[in-house]
Amino acid sequence: MEKIHISLKVNGERKEADVEPRMLLVHFIRDVLKLTGTHIGCDTNNCGACTVVLNGKAIKSCSVFAVQADGSELITIEGLSKEGKMHPIQEAFVEKFGLQCGYCTPGIIMTAYWFLNKNKDPTEEEIKQAISGNLCRCTGYTKIIEAIKYATQKLKTSF
Ligand code: FES
Ligand code: FES
C-alpha cells in the first residue's frame, strides 16, 4: 500500500514519517514514535486508554487515522512532565492513589489535562461527566475523582 508522508508536532517536537493510510493514530504513537505510555484497551472507541490531546482536544487515538493528524499538534502522556518533574495532575494521582493497575491512568490523566485546561473549578458532577469516556476496571472511580479534585487545587498554586 502506498505510504503517505505526515508531519506533526508531538510533545513540542516536529516529527515526520511515511505511514500507511489505514494506520491508526494510536499505532503511530506506540509503534512509530515509540511513545508507549498511550495504551490500547479495546481498539473499538470504548475504553479511553488511548486518549491523547490533539489540537487542544482530548480524543481517543484509536478512532483517528495517523494521516488525519498531519499538520496537527499532539500531546501524549510523555509530554506532560517537564525536566523530569511530573505534571501536577500526575502528582495528584500519585498522592491520592488515583490508580491501581495503572492501565487506564495515562488516558484518564490526558482527559483530566484537557478538561482542567478549560474548567479550572469543576464540580464533582462535571468531573464525572468529563471522564465518562474513560473506563477503569480497578478503582471504582472514587480515588480518580478525588485525585482530579486535588489536581485543581495543585494547578492553582503550581504555575
Ligand atoms: S483503545 Fe481506544 S478507546 Fe479503547
Ligand atoms: S487502575 Fe486498573 S484499569 Fe484503572
Cβ(32)–Cβ(19) below 8 Å: yes
47-104 confidence digits (pLDDT tens): 999 999 999 999 999 999 999 999 999 999 999 999 999 999 999 999 999 999 999 9
| CA 156 to centroid of ligand 1, rounded, Å | 31
Query: Sorting pLDDT into bands at 50, 70 and 90, what band is 159?
Result: low
Residues 6+ apart with CB under 8 A from 133: 48, 51, 60, 111
pLDDT of residue 43 exceeding 90, the answer is no
Residues 154 and 91: beta-carbon distance below 8 Å: yes
Atom of ligand 1 nearest to the CA of 46: 3
Residue range 1-5: mean pLDDT, rounded = 94
Q: In this predicted structure, what is the pLDDT of residue 107?
A: 98
Quote the pTM value. Answer: 0.96
Which domains does the chain carry?
A: 4-79 (3.10.20.30), 88-158 (1.10.150.120)
Closest ligand relative to 105 C-alpha: 2
* Residue 158 in this model has a pLDDT that exceeds 90: no
Write the DSSP string, 22-37: T-BHHHIIIIIS--TT
Give the strands of the sheet with 4-10, arranged side by side.
Answer: 13-19, 4-10, 73-75, 51-54, 57-60
For ligand 2, which residues put their CB under 6 angstroms from it? 99-105, 136-139
Cell numbers linked to 17: 514519517
Better-scored residue on pLDDT, 128 or 159: 128
User: Regarding beta strands 51-54 and 57-60, do their DSSP bridges make them parallel or antiparallel, or are they unpaired?
Assistant: antiparallel
DSSP 75: E
